[in-house]
Amino acid sequence: MTNGQGPVPSSADALSRGVLLIGAGVLLLVGTLTISAVTAPAIGTSDHDAQPKRTLVGSQGGGTGWHQYGGVYLLNGSDIVWREDSADSYFDVTKTENGTILAGFMNGGYDACGPYESPCTRTGFRAIDPQPIPRVIGEYGIPVRTNKNSEVHDVERLDSGEVLLTDMENERIFTVEDGEVTWQWNASSFYDAPDDPTTTDWLHINDVDAISEQRYLVSVRNANQLLVVERGAGVVEVINEDRSNENDGNCRQSGQLRDTDGDGDVRCGDPSTLSHQHNPQWLGENAVLVADSENGRVVELHNRSGEWTVAWQLQEAGGVGLYWPRDADRLPNGNTLVTDTLNRRVVEVNESGAVVWSHETERIPYEADRLPAGESVGGPTYSDAGTDTRRTDSDIPLLSPLLVGIQAVYPSLPIWFDEPQLLLTLVSLGCVLSGMVARFRE
């Protein structure tokens, strides 16, 4: 049949093209997912020690925004001994001398909301007694404007009896005793501050550790910096100091740091040293271990003549590249315990980077402590030789941001689903849609 301009495709031809495109798309999708799943490296490994390792895990959870299904649980090897899961999210976890657990938390549905409408979200810390049945026996919390970027990520009990916390909502660190604030340090005394820090993800202070009686190591995520803050004196040391305005773009992304005083500069550390880090561990006066999250690695920094530089790094373990790691602890045996958040695993490696133990978690872990020691101040340091585990991959325009967005909505996405799988999935879906159009076109 013709229409004066050439032959008109028959319905059989259109059907044939449509079926072929749909079939090709389905085969490509099934093949991509099957081959990727079969060839993916194993995440969890068995614990063959005579005495299985005991690991305390704080789980942020999953779901939209990562604020559902939170939990605190104890692993014996890879077996869950007990679990407390009454909060939307849990973060840092610490076992105290009396056996209870201190855990940073966030949870919704509260009526006591201060300046905010009820029901609201509160964040702070909980005391959990794991025996005989895990239960919350105490709670301190503050209401927050939103459950996004407002969490108390870290908490620890001081020798004074006070509890030391981070406060991402108001960008401060503070201490509490018997429900009353006894001391605080506000980041606005050191960084350019917005009018109201509760309305923006400004500094994202996510960790504080007491490294001596009066000194605290503070992680300021969005500034790529670690601070040593002394009670009564303020900031006495900066790790990854701001040495160039060229770094400012990294800290200004998504409206984070801002030049509110108009001097043309913000305090932003070198992102090649640290970028949006979590959970530093003070190994000694000239060494610190850090989960360098945005760079997808764990680093040990050494102070050489006043400049902190990378002495050791780990970018993959067991053939799987680290993906937004948020905790790294140097263990008494010299190994390093890493919480590899978006790969949903906790992994122990030795100095050469070889995997000693690994556990695949059900949901997104935030932090893990190996018991009985927990996270300590001071620990073995690695030599400058370190381990050569550098990856050659980098962000792919459009695909990498899209993948991050998908993972934020679907945190249970398999760890092997990366940019290549996303691209092939999009191509396969394009084939299927094109085939459907051809199939139903008149």
DSSP 317-371: ETTEE--SEEEEEE-TTS-EEEEEGGGTEEEEE-TT--EEEEEE-SSEEEEEEEE
Confidence at 395, pLDDT banded by 50, 70, 90: low
180 or 244, greater pLDDT: 180
Q: With contact defined as beta carbons under 8 Å apart, do 255 and 270 qualify?
A: no
Domains along the chain with CATH numbers = 11-38+398-440 (no CATH), 54-371 (2.120.10.30)
Distance between CA atoms of residues 264 and 258, nearest Å: 10
Summary mean pLDDT of the chain: 89
Question: What percent of the chain stands above pLDDT 90?
Answer: 67
Please, what is the angle between helix 419-440 and helix 11-39, to 10°?
160
CA angle 7-10-16, nearest 5°?
Answer: 125
CA dihedral 73, 74, 75, 80 (to 10 degrees): -60
User: Nearest 5°: phi and psi at 340?
Assistant: -95, 85
* Six token digits for residue 112: 């006591």
3-state secondary structure at position 209: strand
Write the DSSP string, 146-200: -SSS-----EEE-TTS-EEEEETTTTEEEEEETTEEEEEEEGGGTS---S-GGGS
Q: Note if the bond before 372 is cis, omega within 30 degrees.
A: yes
Q: With contact defined as beta carbons under 8 Å apart, do 364 and 344 qualify?
A: yes
Q: Which residues contact 132 (CB under 8 A, 6 or more apart)?
A: none
228 or 390, greater pLDDT: 228
For 372-390, what is each residue's pLDDT tens digit? Answer: 988 889 999 997 544 444 4
Judged by average pLDDT, the poorest of 28-32, 47-51, 157-161, 367-371 is 47-51
Q: Which amino acid is at 273?
A: T
Q: Which of 226-230, 265-269, 400-404 has the highest mean pLDDT?
A: 226-230
Return the sign of the alpha-carbon dihedral for residues 225, 380, 305, 209: positive
What is the pTM (predicted TM-score) of this model? Answer: 0.84
Residues in the chain: 442
Q: Does the pLDDT value for residue 216 go beyond 90?
A: yes
Which pLDDT score is estimated for 391?
44
Q: With contact defined as beta carbons under 8 Å apart, do 330 and 283 qualify?
A: yes
Q: Tokens 């990562």 belong to which residue?
A: 66
Judged by average pLDDT, the poorest of 49-63, 124-138, 177-191 is 49-63
